[in-house]
């Protein structure tokens, strides 16, 4: 039996349209399934916990929604042994990118039905978790502004989720101030006099496909960290096009780190978002949580 958690409102209604396609294929192929409709993170978590506690052997839990919907279900799925299957229907869809899930609904369904379950790490942040990335500073403010904007809905309506983040960069650049930052990674302290952002990643991209940590591996037990510091607003703006292909890692004002445990301290309080959802603020600590998730992935090759 397969279980689906459907956020009908994700992607400005795309979640419901994706679910309609999935259910038609499942019914046509006589595949047994149950589904849950959800409108909030708390509701999704509660309903999934109830389903997972039932005496049913679930082959996988398909999540029809964005990265935020998936994030709300991590506590229930962690250590459950039931694989997560991703059906991208949000704005960023970086979970799908990180695990090479097709954006086409029918192809994503084939991954759920016939793919391979793969162990995946989580990012643990003060009792909370993220699967893709923890954004601290400027990038978190961008995501926060995008999530609370009218232009996100407009971009989603036209299938331009990534464009919402581009607009968000310009929006946030007007008011954000860089500040001194200290990052401790596996016991080694790194100090920056003027930092813009710290991205702690488990997958390559965030923000709708920006390859912030191009060396990240989802099951290696390490966190990949990108710190952007000591640059002007113009330099920061010029950095973002290079994030599309990972070229920023060669810039002198970008520092890349890898480690299992990290702490971030800023002289100004900084918002921290995990999988695009507001989790905490600085100062904060994060750690790799190795192999506690199972994610359905395509067959290699």
Q: Tens digits of per-residue pLDDT, 77-132?
A: 998 999 999 999 887 889 999 999 999 999 999 999 999 999 999 999 988 999 99
Largest CA distance in the chain: 61
Question: Would residue 125 count as lying in a domain?
Answer: no
The two three-digit tokens of residue 34, written as one number: 């149950």
User: What average pLDDT does range 182-208 have in this prediction?
Assistant: 96
pLDDT tier, 301 (very low <50, low <70, confident <90, very high otherwise) = low
CA distance 207 to 169: 10
Residue whose structure tokens are 């109830």:
50
| Under 8 Å between Cβ of 150 and 229 | no
Question: Would residue 128 count as lying in a domain?
Answer: no
| Under 8 Å between Cβ of 81 and 294 | yes
CA distance 252 to 274: 27
Together in a domain, 180 and 107: no
229: which strand partners?
A: 195
Together in a domain, 20 and 159: no
Together in a domain, 116 and 197: no
| Under 8 Å between Cβ of 71 and 130 | yes
H or E element, residue 143? helix 138-147
| Under 8 Å between Cβ of 254 and 226 | yes
Distances (CA, A) of 194 to 75, 182, 234, 236, 255: 35, 10, 15, 12, 13
Give the count of domains, the chain. Answer: 2
Q: What is the pLDDT of residue 169?
A: 84
Residue 154 has pLDDT above 80, yes or no: no
pLDDT tier, 286 (very low <50, low <70, confident <90, very high otherwise) = very high
Question: Would residue 213 count as lying in a domain?
Answer: yes
Question: Would residue 183 count as lying in a domain?
Answer: yes
Q: What is the pLDDT of residue 273?
A: 94
Distances (CA, A) of 221 to 166, 215, 257: 31, 13, 14
3: which strand partners?
A: 34, 61
Together in a domain, 26 and 116: yes
Together in a domain, 35 and 57: yes
Together in a domain, 145 and 270: yes
Residue 162 has pLDDT above 70, yes or no: no
Question: Would residue 127 count as lying in a domain?
Answer: no
CA distance 135 to 142: 10
Question: Would residue 105 count as lying in a domain?
Answer: yes
Q: Beta-strand (E) ranges in 32-114?
A: 33-38, 60-65, 84-88
User: What average pLDDT does range 29-37 have in this prediction?
Assistant: 95
Question: Would residue 20 count as lying in a domain?
Answer: yes
Together in a domain, 32 and 8: yes
Together in a domain, 242 and 101: no
Together in a domain, 113 and 178: no
Question: Would residue 73 count as lying in a domain?
Answer: yes
Residue 229 has pLDDT above 90, yes or no: yes
Domain around 25 = 2-120+293-297
278 versus 159: the higher-pLDDT residue is: 278
What is the domain-level CATH number for residue 173? 2.60.200.40
Quote the distance between the C-alpha of residue 291 and its chain's center.
Answer: 17
- Phi, psi (rounded to 5 degrees) for 155: -65, -40
CA distance 87 to 137: 29
Residue 161 has pLDDT above 70, yes or no: no
CA distance 62 to 157: 23
Q: Give the residue among 158, 155, 153, 178 at the shortest CA–CA distance from 166.
A: 155
Whole-model pTM: value is 0.91
pLDDT tier, 181 (very low <50, low <70, confident <90, very high otherwise) = very high
What is the domain-level CATH number for residue 116? 3.40.50.10330
Q: What is the pLDDT of residue 291?
A: 95
Together in a domain, 156 and 276: yes
H or E element, residue 265? strand 261-266
148: left (phi over 0), alpha (psi -120 to 50) or beta: alpha
Q: Beta-strand (E) ranges in 72-178?
A: 84-88, 116-125, 128-130, 133-137
Q: What is the pLDDT of residue 71?
A: 93
| Under 8 Å between Cβ of 251 and 239 | yes
Together in a domain, 109 and 172: no
Cβ neighbours, 10 Å, residue 260? 15
Together in a domain, 111 and 190: no
pLDDT tier, 208 (very low <50, low <70, confident <90, very high otherwise) = confident
């Amino acid at each position: 039996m397969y279980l689906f958690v459907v956020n009908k409102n994700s992607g400005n209604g795309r979640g419901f349209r994706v679910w309609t396609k999935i259910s038609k294929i499942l019914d046509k192929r006589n595949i047994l399934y149950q589904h849950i409709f959800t409108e909030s993170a708390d509701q999704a978590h509660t309903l999934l916990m109830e389903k997972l506690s039932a005496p049913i052997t679930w082959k996988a839990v398909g999540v029809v929604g964005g990265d935020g919907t998936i994030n709300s279900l991590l506590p229930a799925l962690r250590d459950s042994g039931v694989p997560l299957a991703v059906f991208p229907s949000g704005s960023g869809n970086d979970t799908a990118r990180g695990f090479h899930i097709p954006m086409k609904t029918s192809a994503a369904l084939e991954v759920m039905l016939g793919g391979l379950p793969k162990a995946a790490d989580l990012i643990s942040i003060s009792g909370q978790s993220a699967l893709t990335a923890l954004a601290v500073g400027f990038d978190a403010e961008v995501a926060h502004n995008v999530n609370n904007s009218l232009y996100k809905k407009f971009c989603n309506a036209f299938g331009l989720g990534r464009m919402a983040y581009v607009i968000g960069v310009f929006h946030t650049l007007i008011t954000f101030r860089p500040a001194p930052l200290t990052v401790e990674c596996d016991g080694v302290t790194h100090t920056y006099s003027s930092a813009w952002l710290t991205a702690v990643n488990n997958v390559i991209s965030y923000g709708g496909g920006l390859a912030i940590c191009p060396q990240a591996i989802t099951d290696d037990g390490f966190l990949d960290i990108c710190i952007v510091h000591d640059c002007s607003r113009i330099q920061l703006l010029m950095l973002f096009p290079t994030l599309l292909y990972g070229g920023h890692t060669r810039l002198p004002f970008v520092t890349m780190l890898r480690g299992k445990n990290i702490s971030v301290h800023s002289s100004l309080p900084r918002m921290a978002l995990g999988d695009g959802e507001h989790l905490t603020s600085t100062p904060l600590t994060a750690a790799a949580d190795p192999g506690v998730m199972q994610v359905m992935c395509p067959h290699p090759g």
